[in-house]
């Protein structure tokens, strides 16, 4: 390896954003929403376009989707959207200050079918503790999935966690109307007539 290509491990900490000022990032004080695992950024851009007075941040592990989002943000001069590449478990605690998030969206997360992979499910007690600290007092988490077993498991997780309550005044149809955005997976499910399960969990 040439000297110009060498990497100093001590530089790693400087590559991570930390505790960023969202008002400076967006040049406004509008509410900030977070999509965890934005994938193909259909939902991400629907939110940005349909809610001009809100800011949307997307986090995704697959870089190709973040690169796609960044190119579109620049090309279309979208001012209220930012996309970050990385593991949400690591990035979310670093990026956001306490009570800085208004709404969090978890859209069609990977169900990790094999038992040995269940530990990779994006939502767990530890991560819900993190989100609880970052979400404002009137904020909430929206979960959407086409996998009934996963939906039931996450319902039970929130019930056990006890820091968010299932706001049952919002059913699937009303949540869809509230969001005014559809992910790539949701569009595929609707085309195939598949059932979609949705819940809104409000911070206690």
> What residues act catalytically?
110
Beta-carbon neighbour count of residue 144 at 10 Å?
25
Do the strands 55-60 and 197-203 form a parallel or antiparallel pair, or are they unpaired? unpaired
* 158 Cβ contact list (under 8 Å, min separation 6): 128, 164, 165, 166, 199, 201
Distance (Å, whole) CA 11 – CA 5 = 13
- Under DSSP, the state recorded for 198 is E
**How many angstroms separate the Cα of 82 from the Cα of each of 35, 43, 119, 173?**
11, 13, 28, 28
Instruction: Return the residue matching tokens 């999935």.
Output: 145
Distance (Å, whole) CA 138 – CA 134 = 12
Beta-carbon neighbour count of residue 203 at 10 Å?
19
* β-strand partners of 81: 56
Residue 135 token pair: 């979400």
């Amino acid at each position: 390896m040439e000297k110009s290509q060498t990497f100093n491990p001590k530089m790693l900490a400087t590559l991570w954003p930390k505790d960023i000022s969202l008002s400076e990032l967006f040049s406004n004080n509008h509410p900030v929403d977070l999509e965890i695992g934005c994938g193909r950024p259909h939902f991400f851009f629907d939110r940005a376009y349909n809610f001009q007075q809100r800011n949307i941040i997307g986090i995704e592990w697959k870089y190709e989707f973040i690169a796609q989002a960044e190119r579109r943000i620049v090309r279309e001069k979208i001012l209220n959207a930012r996309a970050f590449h990385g593991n949400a478990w690591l990035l979310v605690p670093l990026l956001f200050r306490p009570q800085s998030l208004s709404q969090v969206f978890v859209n069609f997360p990977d169900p990790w079918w094999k038992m040995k992979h269940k530990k990779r499910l994006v939502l767990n007690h530890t991560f819900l503790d993190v989100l609880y600290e970052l979400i404002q007092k009137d904020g909430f988490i929206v979960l959407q999935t086409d996998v009934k077993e996963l939906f039931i498991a996450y319902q039970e997780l929130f019930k056990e966690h006890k820091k968010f309550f299932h706001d049952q005044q919002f059913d699937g149809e009303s949540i869809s109307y509230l969001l005014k955005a559809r992910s790539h997976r949701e569009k595929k499910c609707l085309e195939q007539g598949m059932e979609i399960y949705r819940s809104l969990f409000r911070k206690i």
